[in-house]
Structure 1
Amino acid sequence: MTAAVIYLDPIMLNPVIEGVWHHARLAGIPDPGESITMLCGATGVASFLPLGQRRNRSVPRQCDSCDVVVRRQRGIPLRQSRIGHS
């Protein structure tokens, strides 16, 4: 049987730990069971599920600490500094 290759982009992966999604700099796709560290410093063990199961328990919320790191790196104003400004 011919292989059906599924290409994953590690830049587009957002690991979810206990209902919170994070940003992580991944050099490649981690192996199941491999430890990964998020931008905020949280760590977890890689596992994979189909996207359709992402919201089975609850809608993941964004990690505020990871968001701050990404916004600073990209020169995007922090959410807190935009509140109340139009």
Structure 2
Amino acid sequence: MEPEALEICPYNSQHRIPLRRFQYHLASCRRKNPQKAKKMASCKYNACHVLPIEKLEEPEAACVNRSTVEEEDSLSPLKKVIRPGE
């Protein structure tokens, strides 16, 4: 049996978390470190990608999950918003 891949927690670099528990761990660390959490942001393509706000733009532009999200958006039909009185 292969050892499970571990991710490094962005809130505490000493934490090594199995990928299957990573989102749960992120939420827990975010609550325990509110001051650090204010300085961090999640990638809009993958919530497990958490970086300092000022460093997010470049990795987000190169995110491997970006193409998947953009494909899903292009496949969904356009929705027209109808406002009352129109």
Higher relative contact order (CA 8 A, sep 6+): 1
Write 1 or 2 for the structure with the bigger share of helix: 2
Answer yes or no: same fold by TM over 0.5: no
TM-score (norm 2): 0.27
TM-score (norm 1): 0.27
